[in-house]
Structure 1
Amino acid sequence: MTMDELPIGDVEKGYDNKGEITNKTLVSSFGYDSNKEPIGSNKDLTKNNLVWSGINLKLMDRKKGKKDGVKLNILKDVWGTAEAGKTTAIMGASGAGKTSLFQVLTGRIPSQGNLVQEGSIYLGGVRVDPRNREHRKLFGYVAQEDTLHETSTPREALRFSAKLRLAHATTDEEIEQLVEKKLKALGLESAADTIIGGGFKKGISGGQKKRVSIGVELIASPSIIFLDEPTSGLDSYAAAQVMQLLDDVAKEGNIVLFTIHQPSSKVFSSFDNLILLNKGQIMHQGSVSNTANDFSAAGFPMPDNYNPADWVIDVSETNQLDDLKKTTFFSSEPKDNTIVTDSQKTLAIPYSKPVSIFVELQYLLRREFRDIKRNPLMTVINVTITSILAAIFGLMFWDVGRKDRSEIIVVQAVLGSLVNLMISTLFGQSNTAIAVFARDRPLFLREYSTDHYSIVPYFLSKLGSEMFNAFAAVLAQTLVVFWMMGFTMGFGHLLAITYSMSLVSTAVCVMLGAFFANPENATALFTVVVVPQLYFSGVFISIELLPDVVQWAQYVCSLTYASRLALAYEFQNCEPGLAEENCLATLDRNNVEIDNIWWYWLALLGLFLGFRLIAMIVLRSKANY
């Protein structure tokens, strides 16, 4: 069988325990059990079902005991099955618990101390934990929002996912064949080389984006495809296309499970199975084709010319829970739904040795700089605004560095020009850094949770693009102000100081962006974190005049060290006489010690590394559900 003949959802290659490609082709994407036999195959799909039993999700009140500490039962004794080879939809009104159930099944319940999760989940009769990163290799997850790299094309997005998620022994030629096959199966051949697009530039359509999102997950041939609201925001034609694609994926022996809200009658009829939740409990579960008969048997016949999706929700919402429980709805969990596991069988995850961290970094850097090339607007705006502000400063402090420093007023003007330049650099690069990080954060969370790459190469690649953008802006600023203001320090010194300052400020922004998903919150806190630097750094008030309890703050202020470096290089070689006396007095008043220049550089480096490390740790914790 050639790669072009393989089904859309299947694993193309098997791998031995050394990560080498074997000659054995998997008949389904479930892998092999301990006896090297497929856990399931297209001939016996029922063995591959996803089954969950006794799922409870409780919001606890930690102030009370375990027995009386339940504030809310979000899910209560939820059970169900998602069959291999079929599509299964989870529906329910707002607050019914469909999102919570979906988060439990996908292992994405937020790790909060007041949430308690209970129950069992089985795949092919084997216990599975969706929160386990190894088990997640069997899952594909497509979020409601299409978190795709905006300047990539569908072909590049699929190639990126394939290169980083398939075994390292997979050749580039095999990856290209696989990508072509998936593009054809997804109906994306005509849009394969069009950028995906987003806020900055129009790209492919919404329906095509959704298919790319699905394709990015299919490229790793997962056993189960989870989708959160796959038709959200799509017109009826695009929604029908997506549902046809999911049906094709299911027919190849995969499990397709998704939540959906208010589908059209055409989309509803395309499901195979329906799970209806009401107040955190299973109200109805069964084949979509039998839904009308099942509701009629419960005493709720569906009116003619009525959307069945609307009808099942209307019934659940317009009737009291106690009344509905008196009917055939809310049946107890069948005894055969509880799986008795076979101790001889283990969950088989095909072993695949991933690519090295250097390959991850290579592909991430390539994508970052392709983004800059295709979307230079952010860089251009940053450089332009920085240059304009630099020109304004240059006019305000025109030629101040070349004037006679025997006059104290001139020395004060030079001091003011340097301090204002440092402050402008501190704030100037922050807005760009926060905006870019906020844009890319959801993409990282999706890709990291699906094992595209590890945290270190991601941060290094982001640092690479940030360093490029910051250098372009700071270079433009230095080229303008250095000769307009007439500083005596070397051009390289001024460039190095302002560049270091900008890197530390972007590190602070990245750290705050790691804590907060909302860029407005990060921006607000940035003001709280950075503005005090103006007071604690000693540039406006001597450190000795500050209260003892806050004097320590000078050591965590990047402005402290950047301003001291700038003053040291500018005033250390003034002309002998009164000019030299004024310069040395200024250095003394600002706690600048020439012998400590290298310590100032090391302090900036330490702050940069410290903020980056905190950001890395926080973002990694956010990505672990």
Structure 2
Amino acid sequence: MPGFDSVETPNGDLTDCPYQSKDCSPARDLLHQLPSLMSSCYPITLKFIDVCYRIKIENKIKEGSSFRRIFNRGSTSSTDDQGSTAKIEERTILNGITGMVSPGEILAILGPSGSGKSTMLNVLAGRLHQGHGLTGTILANNNKPTKHISKRTGFVTQDDILYPHLTVRETLIFCSLLRLPRTLSTKEKTSIAEAVMAELGLTKCENTIIGNSFIRGISGGERKRVSIAHEMLINPSLLILDEPTSGLDSTAAYRLVSTLGSLVQRGKTIVTSMHQPSSRVYQMFDKVLVLSEGRCLYFGKGSEAMSYFESVGFSPSFPMNPADFLLDLANGVYHLDGVSEREKPNVKSSIVASYNTLLAPKVRAACMEATTLPRREALLTGSSSSSHSSEEHTRSHNNNVIGFATWLNQFSILLHRSLKERKHESLNTLRVFQVIAAALLSGIMWWHSDFREVQDRLGLFFFISVFWGVLPSVNAVFAFPQERAIFMKERASGMYTLSSYFMSRIIGDLPVELILPTVFLIIIYWMTGFKPEFIAFVQTLLVLLGYVLVSQGLGLALGAIIMDAKQASTIVTVTMLAFVLTGGYYVHKMPSCIAWIKYISSTYYNYRLLINVQYGDGKKISYLLGCFDRHGSSRDASCKFVEEDIVGQISPLVSIGAFLSMFVGYRLLAYLALRRLKA
């Protein structure tokens, strides 16, 4: 097939297919040294018959609105208390799609934006299930897809969901350590990741970080190949890709599809969607499915598409890219003698009618056949025993996932990855500057403040409580919303358990999140003249670190519950504002309707613990009123000794108990919120 004899080498050049030469045999052989679960010969023939997908959309229209006339009379409606009418429409996303793709073939789904390409891929990948608006039949080797088939299916999303601060090598090695079976050693898993990098031409950029729109990293084509390598690590039999050439230039797109062409030579089945492929990319497609508004315009060999449309009365008036011509038809545009007939509304309906009359019966009949080729039938029969043993191995592997050894292995790998990724974010230059600047400014402001200047000291304690209450909580609120896409993708692939991910995320944050508060206190403690005793410094440090962990837990919980970074940051800001106002510094006698907030305020307990460390655990703070100036010099011989209840101290054990409850409670809420997420 055109294009299958060339592929991008690790140096980025196009040469004769290296997969047919001895030079690339070590990498290829290494991939085939996987255990039976991964490397057994198990080709997959995928069939989809009369696939339909419908969703219900609820629209609220105010009474008297002229837009009410756009709805059909038969649509369901209901009226709420505000006089708005809720109209429920049923929108058809896919309508009777039928086709099949066999091992060694590339099926390309073409169509304009909104034609149903991504939805069709989600159906084929098993991410949409029967009973939720989906009807029709999906068959893998003439049987309903099983978990064994899903484990042999790789799904590459349109967006490259990767950690930006990890290098290509680190990304694939961590994925290999998590996805490949326990029976392989760490060295073998690393070798497989290196082999996949060599096979997909990623060796030259293996030590370059992935990057994103804000961080410079590898190119778009290389990033897409890393996403493909993610799935290639498990040696999938069926590979599904959603818009793999999106954002790439023509040459990069051709090189990427050439790489896919080399994969089908090894008997893999590939289904991909394309928005606007070039002519030489189009020539590499074995089969083409053209969609328009969820309806099928054509299914068959890519090389026969133009002749088919010519037979039904549609042909270009000048030589052009077949893909461009098909997309014009899918958009209802047909050029005749250089004149656009865009205004004719019957172009698409005419094509759909021709397809349903001429081609659809043949496609459906072909899909209904029991088997395709005797050779493939023998392969499937011969591999049935290995498939059965593989399924047993899969079940035993899944059962072992809940074992402590496997959990601990997942935890250690995820912790290592978290530390590598998070150190760039938590210890970036701006954040370090922010903390050191705040410490220096407050140190200068309260420079060697007198121990007897109680009110000044209380202001310093409260400033520390506010600063280290807001900063960790606002930073932590972004953690889970930002990682949601990666988490959902990896969880759908069965890479790890939720508990191992959550614990690695929580523990991995400790080293990087506790460094800056420690630096802050070291600077401010001696500048402001706190108690010079070492024990007092350690106690103050422990109080501050505990408060940081509690504030961080609040941000994690709100982020996991809301799962929208912008909304969660707003909620956490309002929450911390309530905690600060009821913290006991600004107002001592609060209205009874909001006085209860102080008992759930971490700022309230931290403020009192800091006072306790410096002034003792008594409820009254004794100080001399009017006797000394701020330098300690006598100011008035008629001074008097005053004992005043300044803040209403509580037992430090109560504050410590509240901290422990919040530390555990916030993180438990975050864990339960993550459990409700569905892949």
TM range (shorter): 0.7 to 0.9
Q: 1:615: which partner in 2?
A: 670
Secondary structure, aligned partner of 2:415: helix
**Is contact 1:386-1:428 (8 Å) kept?**
no
Aligned mate of 1:223, from 237, 243, 254: 237
RMSD over aligned Cα, in angstroms?
Answer: 3.5
**Is contact 2:444-2:527 (8 Å) kept?**
yes
Q: Which moved further from structure 2: 518-527 or 454-463?
A: 518-527
Aligned mate of 1:324, from 351, 355, 360: 351
Q: Does structure 1 residue 142 correspond to structure 2 residue 156?
A: yes
The CA distance in 2 between the partners of 1:446 and 1:605, in whole Å, is 33
TM-score w.r.t. length of structure 1: 0.83
Residues 186-225 of structure 1 mapped to structure 2, 5 A cutoff: 186-198=200-212, 201-225=215-239
Residue 219 of structure 1: how far off its partner (Å)? 0.6
Aligned mate of 2:499, from 437, 441, 456: 456
TM-score w.r.t. length of structure 2: 0.76
Secondary structure, aligned partner of 2:354: coil
Q: 1:503 to 1:338 in 2, by over 3 A?
A: farther
Q: 1:194 to 1:515 in 2, by over 3 A?
A: same
Q: 1:334: which partner in 2?
A: 364
Q: Which moved further from structure 2: 119-128 or 612-621?
A: 612-621
Residues 269-280 of structure 1 mapped to structure 2, 5 A cutoff: 269-280=283-294
Residue type at the aligned position of 1:122: L
Residue type at the aligned position of 1:155: R
Aligned mate of 1:585, from 645, 653, 661: 645
Q: 1:541 to 1:91 in 2, by over 3 A?
A: farther
Q: 1:605: which partner in 2?
A: 660
1:553-610 superposed Cα distances (whole Å, 9 cap, x missing partner): 334332222223223333326898556997761242xxx312xx22322322222322
1:48-95 superposed Cα distances (whole Å, 9 cap, x missing partner): 211123323222368959xx9652222223333232211111122122
Q: 1:560: which partner in 2?
A: 604
Secondary structure, aligned partner of 1:234: coil
**Is contact 1:141-1:217 (8 Å) kept?**
yes
Q: 1:528 to 1:325 in 2, by over 3 A?
A: same
Q: 1:161 to 1:576 in 2, by over 3 A?
A: closer
Q: 1:582 to 1:384 in 2, by over 3 A?
A: farther
Which structure's relative contact order is higher, taking Cα pairs within 8 Å and 6+ residues apart? Answer: 1
1:15-61 superposed Cα distances (whole Å, 9 cap, x missing partner): 5xxxxxxxxx9442x3xxxxxxxxx4xxxxxxx21112332322236
Q: 1:297: which partner in 2?
A: 311
Residue 206 of structure 1: how far off its partner (Å)? 1.9
**Is contact 1:361-1:458 (8 Å) kept?**
yes
The CA distance in 1 between the partners of 2:591 and 2:238, in whole Å, is 61
Residues 232-381 of structure 1 mapped to structure 2, 5 A cutoff: 232-318=246-332, 319-320=345-346, 321-328=348-355, 331=360, 334-338=364-368, 350=391, 351-352=393-394, 353=397, 356-371=406-421, 375=424, 378-381=427-430
**Is contact 1:9-1:252 (8 Å) kept?**
no
The CA distance in 1 between the partners of 2:331 and 2:203, in whole Å, is 43
**Is contact 1:470-1:499 (8 Å) kept?**
no
Secondary structure, aligned partner of 1:326: helix
The CA distance in 2 between the partners of 1:248 and 1:280, in whole Å, is 31
Residue 305 of structure 1: how far off its partner (Å)? 2.9
**Is contact 1:360-1:453 (8 Å) kept?**
yes
Q: 2:340: which partner in 1?
A: none
Q: 1:78: which partner in 2?
A: 97
Secondary structure, aligned partner of 1:58: strand
1:224-262 superposed Cα distances (whole Å, 9 cap, x missing partner): 111111011112222111101111112211111122211
Secondary structure, aligned partner of 1:144: coil
Aligned mate of 2:52, from 53, 56, 61: 56
Q: Does structure 1 residue 159 correspond to structure 2 residue 173?
A: yes
**Is contact 1:433-1:466 (8 Å) kept?**
no
Q: Which moved further from structure 2: 155-164 or 377-386?
A: 377-386
Residue type at the aligned position of 1:360: Q
Q: 1:552 to 1:259 in 2, by over 3 A?
A: farther
The CA distance in 1 between the partners of 2:289 and 2:172, in whole Å, is 32
Q: 1:554 to 1:280 in 2, by over 3 A?
A: farther
Q: Does structure 1 residue 502 correspond to structure 2 residue 548?
A: yes
Q: 1:164 to 1:582 in 2, by over 3 A?
A: farther
Residue 440 of structure 1: how far off its partner (Å)? 3.6
Q: 1:411 to 1:571 in 2, by over 3 A?
A: same
1:278-331 superposed Cα distances (whole Å, 9 cap, x missing partner): 222222111111111121122211343322222111112125443333323583
Secondary structure, aligned partner of 1:568: helix
Residue type at the aligned position of 2:94: L
Q: 1:234 to 1:518 in 2, by over 3 A?
A: farther
Aligned mate of 2:136, from 116, 119, 132: 119
**Is contact 2:99-2:364 (8 Å) kept?**
no
Aligned mate of 2:559, from 513, 524, 536: 513
Q: Does structure 1 residue 12 correspond to structure 2 residue 34?
A: yes
The CA distance in 2 between the partners of 1:217 and 1:317, in whole Å, is 33
Q: 1:442: which partner in 2?
A: 485
Residue 530 of structure 1: how far off its partner (Å)? 2.5
The CA distance in 2 between the partners of 1:468 and 1:379, in whole Å, is 14
Q: 1:128: which partner in 2?
A: 145
Q: 2:635: which partner in 1?
A: none
The CA distance in 2 between the partners of 1:554 and 1:105, in whole Å, is 54
Residue type at the aligned position of 1:403: F
Q: 2:16: which partner in 1?
A: none
Residue type at the aligned position of 1:531: L
Secondary structure, aligned partner of 1:120: strand
Query: Which structure has the bigger radius of gyration?
Result: 2
1:447-504 superposed Cα distances (whole Å, 9 cap, x missing partner): 2221222222222222233222221110111112212222348112222222222222
Residue type at the aligned position of 1:89: A
Residue type at the aligned position of 1:56: C
Q: Which moved further from structure 2: 387-396 or 175-184?
A: 175-184
Q: 2:466: which partner in 1?
A: 423
1:209-235 superposed Cα distances (whole Å, 9 cap, x missing partner): 211111111111122111111011112
Residue 268 of structure 1: how far off its partner (Å)? 1.9
Secondary structure, aligned partner of 1:94: coil
1:316-370 superposed Cα distances (whole Å, 9 cap, x missing partner): 212544333332358367145358899x989855424257111112112222233
Task: Give unpaired runs (5+ residues) of structure 2.
Answer: 1-21, 59-74, 78-86, 333-344, 372-376, 626-640
Q: 1:36: which partner in 2?
A: none
**Is contact 1:6-1:12 (8 Å) kept?**
no
**Is contact 1:229-1:260 (8 Å) kept?**
yes
Q: Does structure 1 residue 395 correspond to structure 2 residue 444?
A: yes
Q: 1:35: which partner in 2?
A: none
Q: 2:17: which partner in 1?
A: none
Q: Does structure 1 residue 104 correspond to structure 2 residue 123?
A: yes
Residue type at the aligned position of 1:368: S
**Is contact 1:284-1:329 (8 Å) kept?**
no
Q: How many equivalent residue pairs?
A: 576
Q: Which moved further from structure 2: 377-386 or 254-263?
A: 377-386
Residue 517 of structure 1: how far off its partner (Å)? 5.5
Q: 1:545: which partner in 2?
A: 590
**Is contact 2:475-2:555 (8 Å) kept?**
no
The CA distance in 2 between the partners of 1:385 and 1:500, in whole Å, is 21
Between the aligned residues of both structures, percent identity stands at 25
**Is contact 2:426-2:513 (8 Å) kept?**
no
Aligned mate of 1:523, from 569, 579, 592: 569
Secondary structure, aligned partner of 1:545: coil
1:417-455 superposed Cα distances (whole Å, 9 cap, x missing partner): 111211111122244434555544433232222122222
**Is contact 2:55-2:133 (8 Å) kept?**
yes
The CA distance in 2 between the partners of 1:621 and 1:377, in whole Å, is 28
Q: 1:268 to 1:329 in 2, by over 3 A?
A: farther
Q: 2:335: which partner in 1?
A: none
1:165-191 superposed Cα distances (whole Å, 9 cap, x missing partner): 111111233223322322221112222
**Is contact 1:9-1:254 (8 Å) kept?**
no
